[in-house]
Amino acid sequence: MTTIKASCPSCGDVELTPPQVRLVVCSVKAWSYYAFTCGSCLEEVRKPAGRDVVALLISGGVIAEPWSVPAEALEEHTGPALSYDDVRDSEYGYGWRIDVLRDGTKIVYHAGLWRGYNSLYVRRLEDKTSIIVLSNKVNWSFRNIGRMFGIIDSKDIDAAELGGN
């Protein structure tokens, strides 16, 4: 198997196999990147991938993931700043999912998934409270956003419920 030499900003030179490298080729060429988890410090290292790097990694057996940026995301906006209500019907804006909880709480959030790891970032707009969940074992109960804010607000949450789903 091909050995790919890269460098970690903290640890220096590292050797990787193609499956250890994530290559994202963006429709906006300057946004293409490759990433890997350093085997020494376990940090994710992400670096820009120009045309030559993309070609080199693909020739080494790295599978490229296409990333197509919608044209409207690149449009320049004129006029007043958009508000939460302007983009709410689209359920997505500025890279955030937009939602309203059953109790009327306005939130923005986004989840992530990467090789067995899951994350969730939720922000309650009224008081700018944010919850960040990083996990390597997920049963998806962490997506019960209202309950997570209930825990933070200490609203009728029984400690026994914390272990449940």
The site for Zn ion (CB under 5 A) is made up of: 8, 10-11, 38, 40-41
Shortest Cβ 84–Zn ion spacing (Å): 39
Shortest Cβ 25–Zn ion spacing (Å): 24
Residue 79 has what DSSP assignment?
A: S
Nearer to Zn ion among residue 6 and residue 148 (C-beta): 6
Gap between the Cα atoms of 119 and 11, Å rounded: 26
Shortest Cβ 22–Zn ion spacing (Å): 16
Cα–Cα distances (Å) from 145 to 27, 65, 152, in that order, read 33, 30, 11
- At 40, list the tokens: 């020494």
In which element (H, E) is residue 126 found? none
Nearer to Zn ion among residue 8 and residue 122 (C-beta): 8
Nearer to Zn ion among residue 38 and residue 62 (C-beta): 38
- Which is it for the CA torsion 79, 81, 87, 88, positive or negative? negative
Shortest Cβ 44–Zn ion spacing (Å): 10
Nearer to Zn ion among residue 2 and residue 10 (C-beta): 10
* SS percent in the chain: helix, strand, coil, step 5: 25, 35, 40
